Amino acid sequence: MLLFPNAKINLGLHITAKRPDGYHDIETVFYPVPLCDALEAVKSETLSFSLSGLPLDATADDNLVMKAYRLMAARYDVEPLEIYLRKTIPSGAGLGGGSADAAFMLKLINELCSCGLSEMELETIAAEIGADCPFFIRNKPVVATGRGDVFEPVALSLKGYYLYIIKPPFTVSTREAYASVKPCKPSFSLASLTDIHIGEWRHCLVNDFEPSVFAKYPAIGEIKEQLYALGAEYAAMSGSGSSVFGVFKNTISSEIVFKHESTKFCIEIKS
């Protein structure tokens, strides 16, 4: 069975409060985008995991795909699987690639091994893996609050736009990014995003991580500035970085070299 776990971007990101459990409450819009890994699994006599494509720092046992497998195997009658993952989504980029892989692994096992779980039940298991992991179960635009695991569907579509994602040759520590942000109540509610034309987003949407991250990694801010200079309707860092995306009405030349670029993706949003 073959699935294609996709990335997400954050349209606005507010850090609203520090929680008693040490985590933070946030408000953001998760939007799925068709930049995909490939995840395949077949039933086997022994469990195995193979990785190709972009390299990862984690060992096979630490990969979130394997964590997803172990959570399902501990609860249900799940056969050993030969699992193959090809990475295209950069890690440490704020694109949710690892969480997507894990969520799609849960969905794959649920179907391949006939577990019969509902989407809500899969979301409950996904929440044990990571705060944004449950988003990829239904994989539709949502306003996310709480730790990023409380979802409200939002009727938002970027269909017909072009998305450019630029990943510089370094990552940003999520832990350090949170440590440098002072929570505050946002002046604009992301639930109102659909009432505003995309051309106005740059004036009301903020990513609270950007000021401190840009101060430490000026190259990320320079990429955002370049995207706007090239005509982006909206540009922002995704999550805590390090990737930056720009939303364009039309495609731009593939020959453009972005500052500090290590990876570049051009994606047409078709649905």
- For the segment 25-29, the average pLDDT, to the nearest whole number, is 96
Which among 37, 67, 87, 132 is annotated as catalytic?
Answer: 132
pLDDT of residue 261: 77
pLDDT of residue 60: 81
Residues 207-216: pLDDT tens digits? 999 999 999 9
pLDDT of residue 96: 96
Per the model's pLDDT, the better-predicted residue between 232 and 21 turns out to be: 232
Residues 91-145: pLDDT tens digits? 989 999 999 999 999 999 999 999 999 999 999 999 999 989 999 999 999 999 9
DSSP secondary structure, the chain, as one string? -EE--EEEEEEEEEEEEE-TTS-EEEEEEEEEEEEE-EEEEEE-SS-EEEEEES--SS-TTTSHHHHHHHHHHHHS----EEEEEEE-SPSSSSS-HHHHHHHHHHHHHHHHTT----HHHHHHHHTTT-TTTTHHHH-S-EEEETTTTEEEE-----TT-EEEEEE-SS---HHHHHHT------SS-GGGGGGS-GGGHHHH--BTTHHHHHHH-HHHHHHHHHHHHTT-SEEEE-TTSS-EEEEESS---TTPPPTT-SEEEEEE---
pLDDT of residue 254: 75
Task: Say if residue 175's pLDDT is above 90.
Answer: no
Residue 89 banded pLDDT, cuts 50, 70, 90: very high
Q: Return the minimum-mean-pLDDT range out of 84-88, 184-188, 235-239.
A: 184-188
Residues 30-76: pLDDT tens digits? 999 999 999 999 999 999 999 999 988 878 888 999 999 999 999 99
* 132 in catalytic set: yes
Residues 239-266: pLDDT tens digits? 999 999 999 999 988 778 887 778 899 9
pLDDT of residue 226: 94
Which among 8, 87, 167, 224 is annotated as catalytic?
Answer: 8
